[in-house]
Amino acid sequence: MKRSNRSRSSSSSSGSSGSSSNRVSNEVPETPVLSPISGHIFEKRLIEKYILENGTDPIANEKLSVDQLIPVKSSALVKPRPPSATSIPAILKALQDEWDAVMLHCFTLRQQLQTARQELSHALYQHDAACRVIARLIKEVTAAREALATLKPQAGIAAPGYNAPAPNPAVAAEANPEAAIQPTEEAVMSEEVIKKLQDKATLLTAERKKRGKTVPEGLASSEDIRGYRQLASHTGLHSASVPGILSVDVCLRDTSKIVTGGNDKNAVVFNKDTEQVMAILKGHTKKVTSVIYHPEEELVISASPDNTIRVWGITTASCGQIIRAHDAPVTGISLHATGDYLLSCATDMHWAFSDIRTGRVLTKVMEKTGQMAPALTCAQFHPDGLIFGTGTDDSIIKIWDLKERTNVANFQGHQGPITSISFSENGYYLATSAEDSVVKLWDLRKLKNFKTLQLDDSYEVKGLCFDQSGTYLAVAGSDVRVYLCKQWSELAVFNDHTAAATGVCFGQNSSFLASVSMDRSVKFFGPTD
């Protein structure tokens, strides 16, 4: 590189020798002219071209025209051969200098190419990110329009006894961004609501006392359940591309109907007697982890980690309300005995009490502690409806007073996050499970653990369910088990699922058992004769 610079310097020095050197080309001019402005000599063709382009003297930068140039007479000169080209070593040196210059130029070009590649890669990344954002926004706008279109014909839902709800403000805000900035009035837990809850609790308590200790007529006996076998298995309810059914519930009014929630983001209503799918409920953007079949109406309630709870009309397979009570994945829901209100909990550490008719949140509570409150993992109403329980990810079961919105009792003893809780119909027992392979039974009168069912090592309990009479307890997990209450003896174990069972529930009078699993199947167990 240094040799090239020296060569060029020597060439410049030799080319500029003489009193009539050209100040533009740095060479001896063939047709010299004089500029009266700067007094310098230039090659005529070069200075004329410069004047035409710039109109000024190249040295003084003052205005100059071609007419002002003065021709200069000079003797014809014979250009001498450059000293550097008079010998073979000098020629080789000149060639080496040119090679060095070419290599330097190639190096510079490679640097510029690398810089251009980096800039192009960055531009392509920005373009791809912009396309993704645009696609997401288009998807959200489409979903909002569909939700708005669903709300408009809501009055046409033909579910018996179901009054068309008012449009959900959250959905309307999503469909119309301008409406989102308008303040909305949220309903409160009024005295009228509290009185309605109290009246229902009083009625249920009186009915329970009338039933006393009598066994419901037609209830399956212990021997019947010991003889239960698999009656049917259905694997086509949910998508095979995203296998796994996560929740199940039976309609108490007609126990031939069940609803399931799956990993495929859908809830499916199925009739086990006709073996027909009654409705596929699509709308959640993430898996459906909890489902409830309304005991008196053709309604289904579903919850999902997409932070929403949806109320569906089965006859139209459409969403009537979207309850947005939480800012984090919803982990549990439970329907109040009135059939009008819903309890929900989420990982945002809050539980909420909402009206399923209007979609309004009546109250939302987080326990006030001196430290960070735990995330809630499951929730269920007590049969009377005035208290309820929640499970937490720090192994504690909390009992709450709904009217006062206060935590009235805590049960400790599990290891790991609570996975399921279930109240017995008699109102005295609470069954709980966690990630510790045991099921604990609690006496709500004495507020203590009176029985622990030790399961196999590494047994994963996913769901618990008492039957409607409080006589039997079903456990779903690594298999499906049924226990006889009070004696807490094991009646039956069903190993028919090829993966973990995620939910279980009883039919009318425990005449059958329905379970769902990660193996994508819904299985029914009952008497074979």
Distance CA(18)–CA(27), nearest Å, equals: 9
What DSSP character marks residue 77? -
Q: What is the pLDDT of residues 387-442, one digit of tens each?
A: 999 999 999 999 999 988 899 999 999 999 999 999 998 888 999 999 899 999 99
In a domain, 114, yes or no: no
In a domain, 152, yes or no: no
The predicted pLDDT at position 83 comes to 66
Q: What is the pLDDT of residues 332-367, one digit of tens each?
A: 999 999 999 999 999 999 999 999 999 999 999 987
Q: What is the pLDDT of residues 58-78, one digit of tens each?
A: 888 899 999 999 998 877 666
First vs last C-alpha separation in the chain: 100
In a domain, 200, yes or no: yes
The total number of residues written for the chain in this structure: 529
Are 264 and 389 within one domain? yes
Q: How does residue 208 score in pLDDT terms, banded at 50, 70 and 90? A: confident
Give a three-class secondary structure readout of 398-439.
EEEECCCCEEEEEEECCCCCEEEEEECCCCCEEEEEECCCEE
Are 220 and 341 within one domain? yes
The total of other beta-carbon atoms located within 10 Å of residue 421's CB is: 27
Q: How is residue 73 written in tokens?
A: 């007479």
| Torsion sign (Cα): 193, 199, 201, 204 | negative
Are 313 and 448 within one domain? yes
Q: How does residue 369 score in pLDDT terms, banded at 50, 70 and 90? A: low
The predicted pLDDT at position 91 comes to 85
Instruction: Give me the CATH number covering residue 452.
Output: 2.130.10.10
Q: What is the pLDDT of residues 482-503, one digit of tens each?
A: 999 989 999 999 999 999 999 9
Q: Is the pLDDT of residue 307 over 60?
A: yes
Average pLDDT, the chain: 84
The predicted pLDDT at position 432 comes to 96
- Section 377-391 average pLDDT: 93
In a domain, 182, yes or no: no
In a domain, 353, yes or no: yes
The predicted pLDDT at position 21 comes to 47
Are 72 and 199 within one domain? no
Instruction: Give me the CATH number covering residue 76.
Output: 3.30.40.10
Number of domains making up the chain = 2
In a domain, 417, yes or no: yes
Distance CA(294)–CA(273), nearest Å, equals: 19
Are 304 and 422 within one domain? yes
In a domain, 332, yes or no: yes
What DSSP character marks residue 63? B
Final residue of a domain: which of 44, 64, 86? 86
Q: Which residue has the tokens 């009656």?
A: 231
Are 200 and 75 within one domain? no
Q: Is the pLDDT of residue 278 over 60?
A: yes
Final residue of a domain: which of 62, 86, 110? 86
Q: Which residue has the tokens 């014809």?
A: 76
* Bridge-based pairing state of the strands 341-346 and 351-355: antiparallel
- Give the structural domain span for 353: 191-526
Q: To the nearest whole percent, how much of the chain has pLDDT over 70?
A: 84
Final residue of a domain: which of 59, 86, 113? 86
Are 76 and 210 within one domain? no
Q: How is residue 45 written in tokens?
A: 């063709």
* Bridge partners of residue 300, in order along the sequence: 293, 312
Q: What is the pLDDT of residues 110-167, one digit of tens each?
A: 999 999 999 999 999 999 999 999 999 998 888 888 777 665 443 333 333 444 444 4
Instruction: Look at residue 368 and give its three-state secondary structure.
Output: coil
**Identity of the residue numbered 160:** P
In a domain, 96, yes or no: no
Are 68 and 203 within one domain? no
The predicted pLDDT at position 187 comes to 45
